[in-house]
């Protein structure tokens, strides 16, 4: 039985096949995302992976709706697996915003599902680090969020030479659009054409633009002009104060595919342009109002960073550390007469926070030692009876081969000391 296309199996390292993903690398990524979000004062939230279909159909835009995994459940409800987190966040915030002081700064790491054509950087399931600020209209929030995005990427050892944030403004595009076209119902169609400039055939783009009364030439001229709006200048100044200016370029080619963005928009890309977008986000000041049926009106902004492209980039740049089981000790039970005492020791060590493993059933000493090495244990610990009949713990550093015998109750202290490298 094979897994579905576009879905992943995550195995502990060492990876048994190039077609599967590393559970250790995934955990490493989650840990760094979490740690960075917390440094910025963001709190973690989560929502259900299955939502009413309606949450997405009116709000996210056609592109994502075409990619939905949706079905009727046994209670005749039209439901969908979440393709993104933002509508869930808007729903959750609208329901209980009074319980929280503004601005609300929240993050989540949901698994998301999109029925996309499987390709490099795009699968049918991915994990996405979402960070959003709700209730703050000032562009200081935009800068804060972009700083978090930059630091979340730097947390993996990526530098300004590796990635860039392309900063743009939906508002600037909206003004450009309104100068020629007064039918606002067509604005989103226009944004989608701009969003696909890179990926679609030139002729097709020209035709689509012409249908709305625009030429590709004037669009390219607007992108090339690229004068930052006052809002974008304020964001750039804020980031410069933090020493983060070199990570950001104003680039009007970015407009974002999702329908709900209203102001600043941005995407993170690798500098060489080898990979799909690492992250994308922006301001969506009307979504909470829309989702709450006009009951709650709060400005908001956020971004999503996927694990797929990030891991591709970290692999390509050799920025993933080696992962092993991280065992502090392997307990060798060579004298079966000491199994009971050994189990007591193992339990005491584990209760003290150490990662300890051992052979569940009797095994030859050399087999046990081999297992300790395979599991990359830092040390072995073995109980033995001395000539005077006392039980002592013999600890061996597997790298330096240094050995020492200590009373069993002191074993934890010795095992906790950093192993020599």
Distance in Å, CB of 21 to ligand HAM, minimum: 12
Token reading at 248? 């950001």
Q: How far is CA 363 from the centre of its chain?
A: 42
From the list 30-38, 127-135, 323-331, 373-381, the region that binds ligand HAM by CB under 6 A is 127-135
Rule CB under 6 A: is residue 126 a binding residue for ligand HAM?
A: yes
Rule CB under 6 A: is residue 266 a binding residue for ligand HAM?
A: no
Rule CB under 6 A: is residue 263 a binding residue for ligand HAM?
A: no
Rule CB under 6 A: is residue 306 a binding residue for ligand HAM?
A: yes
Distance in Å, CB of 416 to ligand HAM, minimum: 39
Token reading at 217? 């030439």
From the list 18-26, 202-210, 306-314, 360-368, the region that binds ligand HAM by CB under 6 A is 306-314
Considering only 81, 149, 158, 309, the residue that binds ligand HAM (CB under 6 A) is: 309
Rule CB under 6 A: is residue 132 a binding residue for ligand HAM?
A: yes
Looking only at residues 83 through 122 of this chain, which bind ligand HAM when binding is defined by CB under 6 A? 84-86, 114, 116, 122
Q: Which is nearer to ligand HAM, 116 or 206 (CB)?
A: 116
Considering only 109, 123, 398, 415, the residue that binds ligand HAM (CB under 6 A) is: 123
Distance in Å, CB of 117 to ligand HAM, minimum: 9
Considering only 22, 130, 205, 368, the residue that binds ligand HAM (CB under 6 A) is: 130
Rule CB under 6 A: is residue 280 a binding residue for ligand HAM?
A: yes
Q: Which is nearer to ligand HAM, 85 or 381 (CB)?
A: 85
Rule CB under 6 A: is residue 279 a binding residue for ligand HAM?
A: yes
Rule CB under 6 A: is residue 59 a binding residue for ligand HAM?
A: no
Token reading at 311? 């891991």
Question: What's the rounded Cα separation, in Å, for the pair 363 and 370?
Answer: 11
Rule CB under 6 A: is residue 278 a binding residue for ligand HAM?
A: yes
Q: Which is nearer to ligand HAM, 33 or 214 (CB)?
A: 33
> What region, left, alpha or beta, does residue 101 occupy, with left being phi > 0 and alpha being psi -120 to 50 degrees?
beta
Task: Using CB atoms within 10 Å of the CB of residue 395, give its burial: 0 to 12 exposed, 13 to 18 middle, 19+ buried.
Answer: buried
Distance in Å, CB of 43 to ligand HAM, minimum: 15
Rule CB under 6 A: is residue 302 a binding residue for ligand HAM?
A: yes
Q: Which is nearer to ligand HAM, 255 or 412 (CB)?
A: 255
Tally of CB atoms within 10 A around 98: 6
Token reading at 371? 């297992």
Token reading at 173? 């595009």
Rule CB under 6 A: is residue 285 a binding residue for ligand HAM?
A: no
Distance in Å, CB of 272 to ligand HAM, minimum: 16
Q: Which is nearer to ligand HAM, 163 or 176 (CB)?
A: 163
Rule CB under 6 A: is residue 270 a binding residue for ligand HAM?
A: no
- Site residues for ligand HAM per CB under 6 A: 84-86, 114, 116, 122-123, 126, 128, 130, 132, 258, 277-281, 302-306, 308-309
């Amino acid at each position: 039985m094979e897994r579905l296309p576009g879905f992943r199996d995550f195995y502990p390292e060492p990876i048994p096949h190039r077609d599967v993903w590393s559970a250790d690398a995934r955990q490493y990524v989650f840990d760094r995302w979490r740690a960075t979000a917390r440094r910025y004062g963001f709190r973690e939230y989560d929502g259900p992976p299955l939502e009413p279909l309606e949450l997405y159909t009116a709000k996210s835009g056609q592109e994502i709706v075409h990619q939905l995994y949706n079905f009727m459940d046994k209670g005749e409800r039209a439901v969908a697996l979440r393709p993104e987190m933002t509508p869930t966040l808007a729903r959750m915030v609208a329901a209980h915003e009074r319980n929280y002081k503004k601005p609300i700064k929240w993050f989540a790491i949901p698994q998301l599902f999109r029925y996309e054509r499987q390709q490099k950087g795009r699968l049918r399931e991915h994990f996405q680090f979402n960070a959003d600020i709700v209730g703050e209209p000032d562009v200081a929030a935009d800068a804060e969020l972009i700083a978090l995005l930059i630091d979340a990427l730097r947390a993996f050892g990526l530098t300004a030479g590796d990635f860039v944030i392309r900063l743009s403004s939906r508002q600037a595009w909206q003004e450009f659009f309104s100068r020629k076209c007064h039918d606002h119902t067509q604005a989103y169609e226009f944004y989608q054409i701009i969003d696909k400039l890179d990926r679609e055939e030139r002729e097709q783009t020209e035709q689509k633009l012409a249908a709305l009364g625009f030429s590709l030439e004037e669009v390219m001229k607007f992108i090339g002009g690229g004068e930052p709006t006052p809002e974008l200048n304020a964001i750039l100044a804020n980031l410069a104060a933090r020493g983060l200016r070199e990570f950001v370029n104003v680039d009007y080619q970015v407009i974002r595919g999702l329908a709900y963005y209203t102001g600043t928009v941005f995407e993170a890309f690798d500098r060489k342009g080898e990979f799909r977008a690492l992250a994308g986000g922006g301001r969506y000041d009307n979504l909470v109002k829309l989702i709450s049926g006009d009951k709650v009106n709060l400005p908001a902004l956020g971004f999503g960073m996927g694990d797929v492209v990030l891991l591709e980039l970290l692999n390509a740049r050799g920025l993933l550390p080696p992962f092993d089981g991280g065992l502090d000790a392997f307990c060798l039970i060579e004298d079966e007469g000491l199994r009971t005492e050994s189990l007591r020791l193992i339990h005491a060590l584990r209760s003290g926070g150490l990662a300890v493993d051992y052979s569940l059933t009797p095994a030859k000493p050399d087999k046990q030692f081999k297992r300790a090495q395979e599991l990359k244990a830092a040390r072995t610990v073995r109980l033995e009876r001395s000539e005077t009949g006392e039980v002592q713990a013999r600890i061996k550093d597997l790298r330096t081969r240094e050995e020492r015998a200590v009373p069993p109750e002191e074993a934890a202290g010795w095992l906790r000391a950093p192993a020599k490298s």
